[in-house]
Structure 1
Amino acid sequence: MNLKSRIQSYSSLNNGSKTIVPKNDEDAAVASTSSESTAISPLTFELLTAKEMEYKEKVHEKLMEILDLSLIVKMGNADARKQISDIARRIIDDDTLPIVARSRQLIVNEVVNDILGLGPLEHLLYEPTIADIMVNGHDAIYIERFGKLEKTPITFKDDAHLLKVIDRIVTGVGRRIDESSPLVDARLKDGSRVNAIIPPLAIDGPSLSIRRFTQDKIQLQDMVAIGSLSQAMAEVFANIVKVRMNILISGGTGSGKTTMLNAMSNNIPKTERVVTIEDSAELQLKMDNLVRLETRPPNIEGKGEVTQRDLVKNSLRMRPDRIVIGEVRGQEAFDMLQAMNTGHDGSLTTIHANSPRDALSRVENMVTMAGFDLPVKTIRSQIASAINVVVQLERMEDGKRRVISVSEINSMEGDVITMSEIFRFERRGVEENGSIIGRYVSTGIVPRFHERMKQRGVNMSLDVYTDQTFNSL
């Protein structure tokens, strides 16, 4: 996906909408998308007919009888595709059944995709506006574009066909999927994240989910342009990363947490050494002194597992300036807090939670999972001293991802962690076309980290804490 298309997909912006420009103070109180939005054009695919599909299967079978896969796998992708295409064309030429040029090329492409690619999903992998691909069985494939779900006309032949594609994905990253290990996380060559689950866990047949990622950098200013945050927020985010604040990015599934983490990480100075830790590598940090670590599941004998906690512990021996955890979800939360409190400031991570307060509660619960018999107050004190800022994101009903709250962790008052909200998104209603009406608001509170920025040579105007930016979506 190119950068422009990825940004549009992230924001749901590409819908021909027009922005209302406030004409007076009353109009300026609430600004939103005009109801003159045009509908998103559906994707179209040139698919094989039932007869063409039947003939393709025959070509595929004949090709597999004469193809030496042991030689094909040693070739580069371009050479392998050419070799298979040439053989498929010869098979078609030798057949007495007349095939028009259009059908001939489609059949060859489908055969190549089945052998080397992801079968019918190849139609979707080159469409830049698609953010997610969801396969709910061989005959139910959905996509997300611009924050909205839609069903595609694409199907697999049967569950066995889908299983072959899933197996090709997971074996490509050294993992396996079968009845004894029926679920797996993996990734494609472009970095897209893959989750697969098969029977007996998946009752109605194999299921596959692909979260698309771009190799291009998405900057904070790109997210300002599409209305996912305000200019004031972008300035604060860039500076708190530079002065090494510990940041927790919170939100629900598909709310844009990883995109935000990537955008923020672009402000890490190039002179620093960064270690990233993930279950399935998907972060797109662009820097020279970078070490990427990935967990490993247990083997067929239940041995050899390497968890995120193992990697967090090991990363402390690697002389990191910063530790970036793709998502904290278990016992590693304890070691993460220890690292943040012992000189490894400037760390970033994400967490699944619906509010900043819920995010802290989840971290607390994860620390208790580590098996340490610590008083609740002690755990909360560790959290309060380790985490500086919580950024909350949400994917709203109109499909758009927005930062809805930015909070600074203050300290402890009794047994309670105190927080100050610095920015928030104020909802005011819903347009007839479904677009959310609202604006970004600075609460007027000057955070304590503003003084830290001054001490480290970052001079930012106090005006950002009183700015009110109207939603441009």
Structure 2
Amino acid sequence: MSLADRLAAARESAGHELVEPTPLTERMSQLGKQDRIEEIKGTVHAELLQQLGPQLYDADMDHDELAERVHAVLAEVLGAQEKPLSHRDRARATQEITDDILGYGPIEPFLRDPTVSEVMVNGAHQIWLERDGRLETTAARFVDEAHLRRTIDKIVSRVGRRVDESSPMVDARLPDGSRVNAVIPPLAVDGSALTIRKFAADPLTAEDLVANGTLSPGAHDFLAACVRARLNVIVSGSTGAGKTTTLNVLSSFIPADERIVTIEDAAELQLKQDHVVRLESRPANIEGRGEVDTRDLVRNALRMRPDRIVVGEVRDASALDMLQAMNTGHDGSICTVHSNGPRDTLARIETMVLMAGMDLPMRAIREQMASAIDLIVHQTRFKDGSRRVTHVTEVERMEGDVITLQDVFVLDRPGGDLVPSGLRPKVVEKLEYAGVVVDPALFVPGRRA
């Protein structure tokens, strides 16, 4: 017996009294409604493709004009339905179709939500979010794998990247600078994986980092002085620790009358100075040609008369070129490195220099690092989701075959305060030589920095 027959029999046995819908009937109704909305979305999409064609995916197409055309076709198709949708369902269908055509489908609302910092798609039917450093799942879904792949293709094609079976991994960015990583089958076993690390439209300032506890006021004043005095700074930390945000803040201390060249895999830095040249690496094309990596860009930047070189992330043999730049008059360079601590940062850079294949003696590499790097700012993301600078460490000199380090500020405990170590850093002499004055009280032990 069908569901309708069972419901009719139930009404008859109850003397034709009204029978409240059961949870099963409600779910069936919702599923039917969802199927109808998906059918309408498919009809609208087909109509849009017929009327607008490639304009839907044209990166040069004016967004407002495209939105106007999409809404016109959408109103026409919805108005032609034999069974008109309710006002609520019509509004929902309009929003979902608009997000799908003009945005990025079911993840579009999360990209607009300022409380969401990261969106993670694990296959078509599982979407996770990060809010306040904590993960949560959502009820949003892609229709199927093809729907997810269309969204990925839309994102990567707009920045000149591609993803297919021959190149199944890609790094890209959204127009607002948010970082995108996508992995598709066969590498992603359970369906395409899409990760979007959002970059705030209004980036955090140095004052914001002090207010939320990432930096202390004293460490803020010291780092601002070091950047103005053209010291070379490495920002280190694990994935998701907030290195790029801190790099952005440190770059804001660079004087406005200097020429800055930024080098990134996916352009996301948002510097406010007027004289900024932004360079972005490029992967190889489908023939395996045309790749321009970070190392190529660092070497080229040296010929562009930079006052400062800012590298989004050093992860390969470009570390050697960065050290060379820092040691040949390009002071004031800032970059990030993945590592677990200040000492580990030096080990990572050492390893990356060896990747250049120059067969340099270990002592020569360490002497280059000790001479080039002035400060390491190490940042950590804690289990409660907070991100804090845990060490501001000075790179001093070589003693035997070891580079000596000295903590200037250190986090006294997890969730605690960034306090001065009580040691006066040697770089104060460099600050004085550059005409930058810092308050000696910043380094007084027991004083909150």
Give me the TM-score of the superposition, normalised by structure 2: 0.90
1:455 to 424, 430, 433: 433
Greater Rg, structure 1 or structure 2? 2
Q: Is the 8 A contact 2:225 2:437 kept in 1?
A: no
- Counterpart position of 2:343: 357
Say if 2:51 is the partner of 1:67: yes
Judge which range, 49-58 or 200-209, deviates more.
49-58
SS of equivalent residue, structure 1 residue 404: strand
State how 1:206-285 maps to structure 2 within 5 Å: 206-285=192-271
Seen in structure 2, the aligned counterparts of structure 1 residues 409 and 92 have a Cα distance that, compared at 3 Å, is same
In the alignment, does 2:292 pair up with 1:314?
Answer: no
The amino acid across from 2:440 in the alignment is L
Residue of structure 2 aligned with 1:112, choices 78, 98, 106: 98
Aligned to 1:195: 181
Contact map agreement 1:56 1:111 (CA 8 A) in 2: no
State the AA in 2 paired with 1:352: H
Deviation at 1:88, TM superposition (A): 1.7
SS of equivalent to 2:74: helix
Query: Which structure dedicates a bigger proportion of its chain to helix?
Result: 2
Aligned equivalents of 1:71 and 1:290: distance in 2? 32
Query: Contact (CA 8 Å) 2:129, 2:135: kept in 1 or not?
Result: yes
Change (3 A) 1:327 1:75: closer
In the alignment, does 2:309 pair up with 1:323? yes
| 1:403 and 2:389 correspond | yes
- The alpha carbon displacement at 1:52 in A equals 3.6
What is the alpha-carbon distance in structure 2 between the residues aligned to residue 81 and residue 56 of structure 1?
20
Percent of residue pairs bearing the same amino acid type: 48
Amino acid at match of 1:301: E
Stretch deviating more after TM superposition (97-106 or 362-371)? 97-106
Deviation at 1:222, TM superposition (A): 1.4
Which consecutive residues of structure 2, in runs of 5 or more, have no partner in the other structure?
1-28
Alpha-carbon distance change, 97 to 356 in structure 1, aligned in 2, over 3 angstroms: same
Alignment of 1:339-354 (within 5 A): 339-354=325-340
User: Greater CA deviation, 373-382 or 453-462?
Assistant: 453-462
Cα distance, 1:386–1:331 mapped onto 2, change above 3 Å? same
CA contact (8 A) 1:142 1:151 kept: yes
Contact residue 334 and residue 370 of structure 1 kept, 8 A? yes
Farther-moved stretch of structure 1 (72-81 vs 371-380): 72-81
State the partner residue of 1:92.
Answer: 78
Q: Structure 2: which amino acid aligns with 1:197?
A: V
Residue 160 of structure 1 is matched in structure 2 by 146
CA 1:229–1:381 in 2, change beyond 3 Å: closer, same or farther? same
Change (3 A) 1:111 1:409: same
CA shift digits 1:443-467 (9 cap, x unpaired): 1111111122222222211110126
Q: Give the ranges of 4+ consecutive aligned residues of structure 1 lying more than 6 Å apart after TM superposition.
A: none
For 1:91, give the aligned amino acid: V
| 1:468–1:202 distance in 2 versus 1, CA, 3 Å | farther
Tell me the equivalent position of 2:31.
Answer: 50
2:223/2:250 contact within 8 Å kept: yes
Q: Are 2:419 and 1:438 equivalent residues in the alignment?
A: no
Letter of the aligned partner of 2:34 in structure 1? M
User: How big is each residue's C-alpha offset from its partner over 1:273-327, in whole Å with a ceiling of 9 and x where there is no partner?
Assistant: 0101111111111111111111110011111100111001101000001111000
The offset of 1:70, in angstroms, is 3.5
* Counterpart contact for 2:172–2:179, Cα < 8 Å: yes
Contact 1:59 1:88 in 2 (8 A): no
* Superposed displacement of residue 57, structure 1: 2.7
CA contact (8 A) 1:230 1:469 kept: no
- Aligned mate of 1:122, from 108, 119, 122: 108
Q: Is the 8 A contact 1:248 1:389 kept in 2?
A: yes
- For this pair of structures, how many residues does the alignment match? 416
What secondary structure, in the 3-state scheme, does the structure 2 residue paired with 1:463 have? Answer: helix
Kindly state the Cα deviation for residue 49 of structure 1 after the two structures are TM-superposed.
4.9
**1:133–1:143 CA contact under 8 A, matched in 2:** yes
Give the C-alpha shift of residue 470 in structure 1: 6.0
Residues 54-106 of structure 1: per-residue CA shift (max 9 Å, x gap):
22332233231443223554642122222212222221221121311111011
Q: Matched residues in 2 for 1:314 and 1:465: separation?
A: 39
Q: Which amino acid aligns with 1:61?
A: G
Residue type at the aligned position of 2:439? S
Larger RCO of the pair (alpha carbons < 8 Å, separation 6+): 1
- In the TM superposition, residue 219 of structure 1 has moved relative to its aligned partner by 2.1
Instruction: Name the Cα RMSD after superposition.
Output: 1.6
1:423 & 1:49 partners in 2: Cα distance?
A: 58
Structure 1 position 51, deviation (Å): 3.2
Shift of residue 356, structure 1, vs aligned partner: 0.4
The residue that corresponds to 1:38 in the other structure is none
Whether the 8 Å CA contact 1:438–1:470 is kept in 2: the answer is no
Amino acid paired to 1:379: I
> Normalising by structure 1, what TM-score?
0.85
Alpha-carbon spacing, 1:437–1:321, altered in 2? closer, same or farther (3 Å): closer
Amino acid at match of 2:430: R
2:19 aligned partner: none
Contact 1:52 1:107 in 2 (8 A): no
How far off is 1:419 after superposition? 0.7
